[in-house]
Amino acid sequence: MITGATAGIGRATAFALARHGFRLGLVCRSRAKGEALSEALRAEAGAADVALFVADLGVQTDVRRAADEILAGFPRLDVLLNNAGVFQTRFEETADGIETTLAVNHLAYFLLTDLLRERLVASAPARIVSVASNAHRFARLDLNDLEFRNRPFGAMRVYGTSKLLNVMWNAELARRLEGSGVSANCVHPGGVNTGLGDQNGGVLAQVGGLVKRFLRSPDKGAETSVHLATAPQLVDVSGRYFANCRERRPSAAARDAAAQAQLWELSEALVAGSASPAG
């Protein structure tokens, strides 16, 4: 199951996993783009079975509906790959009244994984792979202001903080999954030439080809995610951070166990108000 699969790293990951023989589930915001990708996967990568789930991951009722549909359509789930992300250059709120970067880059990972957790455990050995970033190293964490309502909103600062939350959450998730047969790891894909950063006049949109020519291809950026999803030697490896298919040590802030546990509690509170469509 891959989120944010229609472009960039997500698209490259989908093609790579299709070639590994996986049955694929794609969580996409655009039905048209999702259908086009599904057709391309069948035609170009020999994907015999591709399922599409349309959801805006910034809207928690959409995340819950997609999870219900995934559970109905996938009796087993071997890999959940949290990949979708945004890079916002200004403060915006989702329909839930949550700052968009936090909602998509962290809370969607947290909520979708929680909703699919029992199915992953029932499918063990299973893997959760979440795309983070080395941008987490430059973040300054304030657990009392995760949405940057009381601090200056800087695009890189906000994005880096969301990626720090990914790494912290992954570590706490791995602890909670110990003994279940489900691993949880996160990755730094490197600087990749994708559409990330092009939203609302983003940094990469402004500098255009000057920066993008130095970025790695989506295929190269997807390599570590695919490695974590498929490498036999990693089946029991959990709670780690990888870059270039090798384990790396995350920042000191990312390794703070007390802050990781507090973040989990804060995240639970931020998703508690969205009701499931099923009741």
Active-site choice (53, 109, 110, 159):
159
pLDDT value, residue 226 = 97
- Known active-site residue 109: no
**Of 29, 34, 30, the residue nearest 11 (C-alpha):** 34
Report the SS3 class of residue 182: strand
CB-based burial label for 63 (10 Å; 0-12, 13-18, 19+): buried
State the CATH architecture for 2-271: 3-Layer(aba) Sandwich (3.40)
Per-residue pLDDT tens over the stretch 136-150 = 999 999 999 999 999
Q: Model-level pTM? A: 0.90
- The answer, yes or no, to whether residue 196 has pLDDT greater than 80, is no
* pLDDT at 241 > cutoff 70: yes
Note the pLDDT of residue 97.
98
Q: Tell me, what's the pLDDT at 278?
A: 37
Question: Would the pLDDT of 191 be above 80?
Answer: no
Using DSSP's 3-state secondary structure scheme, residue 270 falls into helix
Q: What is the DSSP letter of 242?
A: E
- Over residues 12-41, mean pLDDT: 96
Chain segment 56-89, per-residue pLDDT in tens:
999 999 999 999 999 999 999 999 999 999 999 9
pLDDT score for 218: 77
40 pLDDT above the threshold of 70: yes
Write down the pLDDT at residue 201. 53
> What was the pLDDT predicted at 274?
57
CA gap 11, 47 in Å, rounded: 13
Instruction: Compute CA distances 160 → 13, 89, 106, 134, 205, whole Å.
Output: 22, 12, 11, 8, 18
The stretch 5-13 carries a mean pLDDT of 94
Given the DSSP bridges, would you call strands 24-28 and 50-54 parallel, antiparallel or unpaired? Answer: parallel
pLDDT at res. 207 = 40
Show contacts of 274-279: CB within 8 Å, 24+ apart: 274/60, 274/61, 274/63, 274/64, 274/96, 274/111, 275/61, 275/64, 276/61, 276/64, 276/68, 277/61, 277/64, 277/65, 277/68, 278/64, 278/68
Q: In the predicted model, what is the mean pLDDT of residues 108-135? A: 98
Specify the range with the lowest mean pLDDT, choosing from 34-43, 88-97, 119-128, 206-215: 206-215
- How many Cβ atoms from other residues are within 10 Å of residue 36's Cβ? 13
Tell me, what's the pLDDT at 276?
Answer: 44
Say whether pLDDT at 98 is over 60: yes
- Cβ proximity of 6 and 53 under 8 Å: no
Mean pLDDT estimate for the chain: 91
214-239 confidence digits (pLDDT tens): 455 878 989 999 999 999 999 999 99
Inform me whether the pLDDT recorded for 193 exceeds 70.
no
pLDDT at position 28: 97
Specify whether the CB–CB gap between 28 and 51 falls below 8 A.
no
